[in-house]
Amino acid sequence: MAASRRATPPLLRALNERTVLEAIREGAPISRAEISRRSGISKPTVSLALRSLLAAGLLREAALVLGLDLGARFVRGALCDLEGAIRARQDLELASADAEGATDAIVRLRASLLDTAALDPSLVDCVVVGVPGVVAADGTLRVTENVAGLEGRRFGEELQAALDFPVTLENDINLAALGEQWQGVARGVADFVFLSVGTGMGAGLVLGGELHRGRHGAAGELDFALVGFGETVDPSAPQVTELAGAHSGLSAEPRAVFGAARTGDPAARAVVDEIARRIALHVAPVAAVADVELVVLGGGIGANGDLLLDPVARFLAEWLPFAPRVEVSTLGEASVLTGAIAVGLEAALENVFARRAPAPA
């Protein structure tokens, strides 16, 4: 008892600083509030410990992460600090849907975000960009259809030269899966697949809590899963239009088709049921081989959970002995950008350690 009363403030500070440092190492990306919750140390004390660690050179302050989501018609962007707080968020329409137009838009969006947040560009630690396509080990982009001119390019190197920041490219649907794992419906789920069904289709596969990219970085390219199947099983938006066009008097626009299905229109319900069957056909091989716990549906078509969840789950239950749970993305259009920020935060927080903290005496 006497020894504990004689415990000196320097020793307590050292213990707090070590606890905070270990919480950052183990939980990155992590906010100040989460450090406090995990460590049992008050928020003001956590703040004091962080300032001491920075002053001692045990941490360096890499303050900002830039996350980007490159689509066919837009670039979405966000600046995030190391506590996970969004400092600026904007979307920018592409003047031209090609590689040069995308580079120009990204450079302008970077400048606009920094100007809006009134922050020094030197504080940016890294940039993570979600792109439509397969990112090979050498950085070459493959299977890129939505943005002209990206195929075969090392687009990350071009962006790095244009932005003068370290740039990481990742498949956009892979990032969507990581976004759901960080802040969405897949939190706490070790084995799941994110299936995006919109103008195209793709998947991000997380196994054992880690993103599975595959040997060529092409894991999740479900467009090729049922090649040679003998019938059209694509559930994406163009096929909704084609199916709807086969029914007399039914609007071919996908949003209108799903809207009509909600009112009970028989033809529209038939189209939606077929789309659900096609989605289930693509999920079934993944679920059978990887035994995932959860399927997260995203994209413009996949977001129609009120119409798709029950029939997709029913088909899977009929076909599989261990059917996964099926849910709709809770992040929606923000899933890719959220994943980009998560990846950037993890990298930035790894970079803040200048050296390991010595154990207190």
Q: Model confidence over 317-333: pLDDT tens digits?
A: 999 999 999 999 999 99
pLDDT at 274: 96
- What average pLDDT does range 43-66 have in this prediction? 77
* Cα–Cα distance for residue pair 140/158, rounded to 1 Å: 11
- How large a percentage of the chain has pLDDT more than 70? 91
- What average pLDDT does range 15-27 have in this prediction? 81
Query: pLDDT higher for 161 or 5?
Result: 161
Neighbouring C-alpha atoms within 13 Å toward the C-beta of 129: 32
Q: How confident is the model at residue 60 (pLDDT cuts 50, 70, 90)?
A: low
Query: pLDDT higher for 309 or 121?
Result: 309
- What average pLDDT does range 56-82 have in this prediction? 84
What domains can be seen in the chain, in order of their start residue? 9-59 (1.10.10), 64-176+346-350 (3.30.420.40), 187-330 (3.30.420.40)
Q: How confident is the model at residue 310 (pLDDT cuts 50, 70, 90)?
A: very high
Per mean pLDDT, which range of 31-35, 203-207, 282-286 is the poorest? Answer: 31-35
pLDDT at 141: 94
What's the pTM value of the predicted model, to 2 decimals? 0.82
Phi, psi of 77 (to 5 degrees): -145, 155
- What average pLDDT does range 29-43 have in this prediction? 82
Average pLDDT of every residue of the chain: 88
pLDDT, tens digit, 9 for 90 and up, residues 94-150: 988 899 999 999 999 999 999 999 988 888 989 999 999 999 989 999 988 788 999
Burial class (CB in 10 A: 0-12, 13-18, 19+), 218: middle
pLDDT at 284: 96
pLDDT at 5 over 70: no
pLDDT at 356: 40
Query: pLDDT higher for 224 or 157?
Result: 157
pLDDT at 353 over 60: no
b/e per residue 297-317 (b: at least 16 CB within 10 A):
bbbbbbbbeebbbebbbebbe
Per mean pLDDT, which range of 2-11, 269-278, 298-307, 335-344 is the poorest? Answer: 2-11
Query: pLDDT higher for 189 or 60?
Result: 189
Q: How confident is the model at residue 20 (pLDDT cuts 50, 70, 90)?
A: confident
Per mean pLDDT, which range of 81-85, 174-178, 202-206 is the poorest? Answer: 81-85
Cβ-defined contacts of 100-109 (< 8 Å, 24+): 100/149, 102/70, 102/75, 102/147, 102/150, 103/158, 103/159, 103/162, 105/75, 106/68, 106/70, 106/75, 106/77, 106/159, 106/162, 106/163, 107/162, 107/163, 109/68, 109/75, 109/77
Query: Which residue type is seen at 338?
Result: T
CB 168 within 8 A of CB 129: yes
